Structure 1
Amino acid sequence: MRVNSSTEFDGQAYGFVIAGHFNEDDTYVTKRPQGMSDWLITYTLGGEGYFITPGQETICRAGDVTLLKSGLPHQYGTRKGQTWHFVWAHFSPQLMEPSLLPDENLFLQSVTIESTRKRIYHAFRRILSDSRARGDYWHELCMNALREILMLVAQKKRQTYDDRIGETLHLLSRHMKDPLRIEQLARTIGLSPSRLSHLFKENTGQSIVDALNQMRIRQAALLLQHTERSASEVALDVGFNNYNHFINQFRKRFGVNPSTFKKKIRE
């Protein structure tokens, strides 16, 4: 049986002890009967792992983020008959905003939205790279990546709508300038166009078209406010090929046309 114990070194002064990327068979186990002085965050990429804390056993699978509070006796490892592929990092809670840390001793959040999973993984990769390279501002870069992970987890925890709607909103924002093709969008999400449209309206109170137009108009207002681009240029920038339609949508949102909006904002 492979047993790991807590190892702390000079990085503790910065709030990070160690970060790693493991793919372990079922002989892997870490035991800390006295707990540890920092927090542990893990993100499971594949297989299954487990955490044992006083009175509780928790199983983590692909897409699960776990946060283990400092000072808590615990054991964790790979479930029998499984492998556990995961990334992890230790950090000092004193260096993190309390609002981003859960109250639970062991917190688990399942992330099913593929785009969010990718963001969390890429943030962990930055932590691994920066903590090893130790270049200028390495600690600040690590903490920023960790904050991103914790904010994504907190956002998921507070989310009130279906995960498929979260993925739809992400796709709309990424392809805001492209013509809207609900059939293609629904195929990507894994629903029929009618089911996606119904679910979207049920969860957001808006149609997909209205939500996309709102995104475009918000971005257009920012461009008018902070750049020297004309209203017609901004319309194309955000995906409106019909300028009159852009004006109508903008006036519906702000009560004035784009040119008047820009003049008032500048004044």
Structure 2
Amino acid sequence: MTAENMSVPAAELMIVGHFDKAPGYATRRPAGSPSWLMLWTQAGEGQVEQAGAAFTVRAGDLAVLGAGAPQRYRVAPGAASWRFWWVHFQPRPSWAAWLAPHALATDCHLVEGVPGDVRDRVDLA
């Protein structure tokens, strides 16, 4: 399944979902999204592209993508699947300092290898 120009929720909404996708799944938003997007990987691997950055996410990784920039994400080539939570949201201004050390590009962040005890708590939430 591929989603070209996939619709996104209104910027003022926060919406959450969970996907367990097989190879072939991809989402591409040439105009980006009016909201920010978090992708929390539980299992498998995904490939994410935004703002000139391209990276692979694995279990325990959190990708945070800013609004208004073209984005693409998919099951990583060679991966059997990608199980992840997604959240469209508007960040609080104070979060910028938390995200800054994880910036790969403007408004594109990767928090790699979240510790196991924290991952367990997130997965149970």
TM-score (normalised: structure 2): 0.81
* Equivalences, count: 116
Corresponding letter in the other structure for 1:2: T
Give unmatched runs, 5+ long, in structure 2: none
Tell me how far apart the structure 1 counterparts of residues 9 and 94 of structure 2 sit (CA, whole Å). 26
Deviations 1:148-204 (CA, angstroms, capped at 9, x unpaired):
xxxxxxxxxxxxxxxxxxxxxxxxxxxxxxxxxxxxxxxxxxxxxxxxxxxxxxxxx
Corresponding letter in the other structure for 1:75: R
Alignment of 1:200-239 (within 5 A): none
TM-score (normalised: structure 1): 0.40
Percent of aligned pairs sharing the same letter: 34
Secondary structure (helix, strand or coil) at the match of 1:27 reads: coil
Alignment of 1:1-267 (within 5 A): 1-3=1-3, 5-8=6-9, 12-13=11-12, 15-16=13-14, 18-82=15-79, 83-93=81-91, 96=92, 98-101=93-96, 102-103=99-100, 104=103, 105-123=107-125
Secondary structure (helix, strand or coil) at the match of 2:94 reads: helix
Deviations 1:102-149 (CA, angstroms, capped at 9, x unpaired):
2432111123421111122234xxxxxxxxxxxxxxxxxxxxxxxxxx
* 1:174 aligned residue: none
CA RMSD of aligned residues (A): 1.8
* 1:218 aligned residue: none
Report which of the two has the higher share of helix: 1
Corresponding letter in the other structure for 1:70: A
Secondary structure (helix, strand or coil) at the match of 1:121 reads: helix
Give unmatched runs, 5+ long, in structure 1: 124-267
Secondary structure (helix, strand or coil) at the match of 1:70 reads: coil
Q: Aligned-pair distance for 1:86?
A: 0.6
